[in-house]
Structure 1
Amino acid sequence: MDTQSAEDELSAIIAGAAKQPLLDAAYALWRQRYRLETIAGRPTAEEVRVNRTFSPEQFIIQYRHERAHAHEGPMFGYVKRAHPRADDQAIRQAIITAVKFEDAYNKHFDWNGDFEDCVARAVKQAARKYPHYLETTYRDARNDLAYYMK
């Protein structure tokens, strides 16, 4: 992908998030983090080489660290671009909340019954703890959960 088309795609993703309230924008960008990383040229070839040497335990430690510190990395810049007037602490908190919301619906997922019902139930349970999202965000969460659990 050439530099201009990468920047155009990045700008389009951020512009879509900018149409939403801060909390929903942070979640929208968080759920596209893998695409955003690819556009930004991550992981680098060196990072891929190093990651391939990780034991499962090392991978889990890195995964948890990246999630725990998501508000300190590139995600902060993406959300700031979507909501440039937002307070930096509010942006950090929105990212932290997005990660915790995703963790919550994944934790609540239980293969007990019809697949679609299991997905809906998991997001509904997570929504009780994270009630401030738009309905479209809960729909996106259901879609993401269904995609990753299939």
Structure 2
Amino acid sequence: MNQTSNQTEPSPEEQIAEFVASAAKQPLLDAAFELWRWRYRLNSIEGRPTAEEVRINRTLTPQQMGEKYRYDRDHAHEGPMFGYLKRAHPRADDDAIRKAIITAVKFEGATEAHFKWDGDFWACIVRAVAQAAAEYPDFLETTYRDARNNLAYYMK
């Protein structure tokens, strides 16, 4: 019997629960970075952006898109990310959750800001994350590894 024919894709709730459960195994700050790293997948599962948001986004100028991108990053702690992290760390104080999200977003931004492609690609990735890690030293080594992989994916 073909097992794949009887298997169904997990529901959106089950998929999100998997991300939350994975993040719950980590300290708050690292969980925030993990969930932030998966924000596009989480948004997709949740049906964001909506068709209407996509329609509106397509009308934005590059400058307006940049402003929207910055706004979304600056306010990540006020959106769905807060709920995901609260589910992963239900005993954490709300202010600590917001601070962890803000720090994770700023850390990712620092990795991007430090990236300069001037030589071997991977060496440039490692250097950029090391520079960002010097500014944000409170993550686990596994988070820095994930940050290197994340940066390499987006800079390729």
Q: TM-score, normalised by structure 1?
A: 0.97
What residue is the counterpart of 1:147 in the other structure?
153
| 5+ long unaligned stretches in structure 1 | none
What residue is the counterpart of 1:30 in the other structure?
36
Superposed CA deviations along residues 88-114 of structure 1, whole A, max 9, x for unmatched, are 000000000000000001000011111
Deviation at 1:65, TM superposition (A): 0.4
Q: AA paired with 1:45? A: A
Alignment of 1:52-91 (within 5 A): 52-91=58-97
User: Which of 113, 118, 137 in structure 1 is aligned with 2:124?
Assistant: 118
Separation (CA, whole Å) in 1 of partners of 2:51 and 2:83: 23
What residue is the counterpart of 1:137 in the other structure?
143
Superposed CA deviations along residues 16-55 of structure 1, whole A, max 9, x for unmatched, are 0000000000000000000110111110010000000001
| 5+ long unaligned stretches in structure 2 | 1-7
Q: How has the CA–CA distance of structure 1 residues 115 and 13 changed in structure 2, closer, same or farther, with 3 Å as cutoff?
A: same
Deviation at 1:3, TM superposition (A): 9.8
User: Which of 107, 114, 118 in structure 2 is aligned with 1:101?
Assistant: 107
Separation (CA, whole Å) in 2 of partners of 1:105 and 1:75: 20
Separation (CA, whole Å) in 2 of partners of 1:3 and 1:85: 31
Q: AA paired with 2:24? A: A
Separation (CA, whole Å) in 2 of partners of 1:105 and 1:38: 24
Q: AA paired with 1:141? A: A
Separation (CA, whole Å) in 2 of partners of 1:100 and 1:34: 17
Q: AA paired with 2:80? A: P
Q: Segments of 4+ in structure 1 off by > 6 A?
A: none
Deviation at 1:4, TM superposition (A): 5.9
Separation (CA, whole Å) in 1 of partners of 2:94 and 2:9: 28
Equivalent residues, number: 149
RMSD: 1.2
Q: AA paired with 2:75? A: H
